[in-house]
Structure 1
Amino acid sequence: MTVDDQFTDLLARRGARDRVADRDRLRLIVDASRRGYTHRVISDRLGTVSQATVTRLLQRAEHDPDLVRETPAEVIDRCAAGEIDPAEMMERLMGWRYTFGYLPTVNGNETDAYITGDWNEVELAYYRGFLTDDQFQALADRQNEILDRLSSP
C-alpha cells in the first residue's frame, strides 16, 4: 500500500466516523426530545450544536423518520470506522431485507426521478471501496437467492 493509498484510507475512515457520529447525535437528540428535554437543554448539554440546529434536526427527523433508522450504509460505515469487524458487518448485511431503487409512476407514466433503495447503498459502498469483491459478491448472491425464492411458484 502506498503512502497515497494510506492517506485516502485515512480520509475514508474519518468520513465514516463522522457519518456515524452524526447519525448517533441525531438519534440522541430525537431521544432527548421524546423524553421531554427542551431544545435549549439539548443544545446546552451537547455544547456542539445551537438550539436552532437542534430544532432543524428534529424537524428533519419528524419529516423523514428514516433518518434515524439503521441503514446498510451505516453498518458499512461502522465497520470502516472500526466500531464493528468485517464479520459482524457481513452477518448483519447478509440478513438485511433490502429495498431496491425504482422509477416512480404518475398516472401510469414513469417519471425521470429515481427513488433509491437500501441495495443502492451497498452498491455505492462497493464502488467507493468499502466492500471487497468477495463481500459484494456474497451479498449479491444472497439477494439473488432471496429473489429467486420469492419469484418461484
Structure 2
Amino acid sequence: MLRGLTTVSFRAADLDAAKRWYAELLGIDPYFERPGYAEFRLGDHQHELGVIDSRYAPGGAPAGPGSGPGGAIVYWHVDDVQAVFAKLLSMGAKEYEAPVERGPGFVTASVVDPFGNVLGVMYNAHYLEVLDVGRAVGGGA
C-alpha cells in the first residue's frame, strides 16, 4: 500500500522561472534536472519537489495561471506558518487560504504559486513527534 511520500510534482508553463522561484524560496538549487523537469530535495526526510513543464501535463489538467489552481493540497511542515506565509506572498504567491488554527498544535495556510500550483504549509505537532521518534530510533536525522 502507500509507504511514503516520494515526489510532489508541480507544473509550470515557464519552467525556468519556476526553477528560479523555488530555488529562491527553498535556498537551494535543483539537485536533478532533465529537459522539461527539475527536482529539489528538501526537509528532514529529503522529500522531492518536482517542477515539470506544463506541456507534459495529462489531458484535462489545469493549464496554469488564469485557469484556477489545480491538484491536491500537499502541506509541508514549517516552524512558523505566519512567517512562511508572509514570505510566500512577498515572492508573488497569492493567498489561497490564510493561516487557520485547526486545533492545538495545528496551523495551516496555502497559496497559489506564480505558476498556478497550490502550495500548503502547516505547523503540525504530530510531524514533530514522528520526527523525534525517528531520531531516537535511528540515532539522528
The TM-score, its normalising length taken from structure 2, stands at: 0.30
Please identify which structure carries the higher helix content: 1
Higher relative contact order (CA 8 A, sep 6+): 2
**For the pair shown, which has the larger CA radius of gyration, 1 or 2?**
1
Please identify which structure carries the higher strand content: 2
The TM-score, its normalising length taken from structure 1, stands at: 0.28
